[in-house]
Amino acid sequence: MPPYVTAEQTRNILIIGATGVVGTYIIRAIVDARENFGRICVFTSEKTLVEKVQDIAALEAWGVEIFTGRMESERSVKSAYEGIDTVVSCVGRAGIERQIDLITWAEQAGVRRFFPSEYGTDIEYWPESAQEPPHQLKLKVRAHMKTMQRLEHTYLVTGPYSDLYFGTMETRPELGYFDVKAKKAVLLGDGNGAVSFTAIADVGKFVVAALINTNASRNATLIVHSFTATPHEILAEYERQTGVTWEKSYTSLERLRQIEREEYQVHSRLATVVTLRRIWTEGGTLHKYYDETVLGHIETETLESQVAANIRKQEEGENNFPSLLRKLSLV
């Protein structure tokens, strides 16, 4: 990490959701860049304290202050907010709406900046975004943020995680996968639609850069990514690294839309996954140009490194998609 000038406004940080999948990477990056910050605090539930004893012990060993309480408790949350300049929320999908109170209380408690949990598909990419079911709660949070008098915000939009897109898809193979053992892939759309991906490990780096570049990130939507690739390019990289030609088939955009309708009809949890994949395939999260002048240059993962990591994972027998998917509450 290059040396940064410490910004007065981001001295004391509170992270909510720090032990979740994305939160784990975010807290790690913040701790690694600790010389830029004052107090680093985490707000967590009693339940997490018990279930994730080791994670909490690690955080304490790194000098992180732990505040315990329920996210619904104004008293607990406000007591954690005392002296805090910036709140970074990494709550999962189930906690998105609760941020409305967290934001109100932050304003009342004198917090200067709030990072709501975004870290995913761009919810304001084009006019159609406003109608997408998975975006509704995040859009509601942004609308609430607009009513704040003093509280500043930063929205960090990462697009899909390459860690989830690369790999197998046992629950519904038609939704696209790259299977290293079988040397088979199902590509989405015509295979030529580019998608901008962020590796989960890079999310923390972007958050730290946004925290440090206080001015550039003030009231801003920062759209970041690690790399951009089409399904054909991803497959070509798997083939290059495994040294053989793979068998491939396609799930057209039309077919994706059909699956999506069916999944909503039966109120399936998978519906959200299908919608997001359909959006990515339509090009609804393509950001070709990452403006390095905003956050500075960040060394990110690449198509090559992410395919290599996924091949390793699959060869070690770790089928990461379903479990990560559960933990991420469907991103």
Ligand X SMILES: *[C@@H]1O[C@H](CO)[C@@H](O)[C@H](O)[C@H]1NC(C)=O
Active site residues: 138
Spatial distance between the Cα atoms of 203 and 238, rounded to a whole number of angstroms: 24
Residue 220 found at the interface with ligand X (CB under 6 A): no
3-class DSSP state for residue 164? helix
Spatial distance between the Cα atoms of 136 and 321, rounded to a whole number of angstroms: 24
If the CB atoms of residues 5 and 244 are measured against ligand X, the closer one turns out to be 5
Stretch that binds ligand X, among 192-200, 211-219, 252-260, 293-301 (CB under 6 A): 211-219
Residue 219 found at the interface with ligand X (CB under 6 A): yes
- Smallest gap from residue 215 Cβ to ligand X (A): 4
Query: Among 47, 75, 150, 269, which residue interacts with ligand X (rule: CB under 6 A)?
Result: 150
- Smallest gap from residue 248 Cβ to ligand X (A): 48
Query: Among 49, 58, 66, 148, which residue interacts with ligand X (rule: CB under 6 A)?
Result: 148
CA–CA–CA angle 254, 255, 261 (5° rounding): 95
If the CB atoms of residues 210 and 328 are measured against ligand X, the closer one turns out to be 210
Residue 293 found at the interface with ligand X (CB under 6 A): no
If the CB atoms of residues 108 and 219 are measured against ligand X, the closer one turns out to be 219
Tokens of 221: 């939507």
Query: Among 131, 215, 245, 265, which residue interacts with ligand X (rule: CB under 6 A)?
Result: 215
Spatial distance between the Cα atoms of 317 and 331, rounded to a whole number of angstroms: 23
Spatial distance between the Cα atoms of 115 and 128, rounded to a whole number of angstroms: 24
Residue 131 found at the interface with ligand X (CB under 6 A): no
Taking CA atoms, 32 is separated from 40, 205, 211, in Å, by 11, 10, 13
Rg of the chain (C-alpha set)? 20
Nearest Cα to Cα of residue 2 among 199, 224, 208: 208
Residue 218 found at the interface with ligand X (CB under 6 A): yes
If the CB atoms of residues 142 and 184 are measured against ligand X, the closer one turns out to be 142
Q: Which residues bind ligand X (CB under 6 A)?
A: 148-152, 215, 218-219
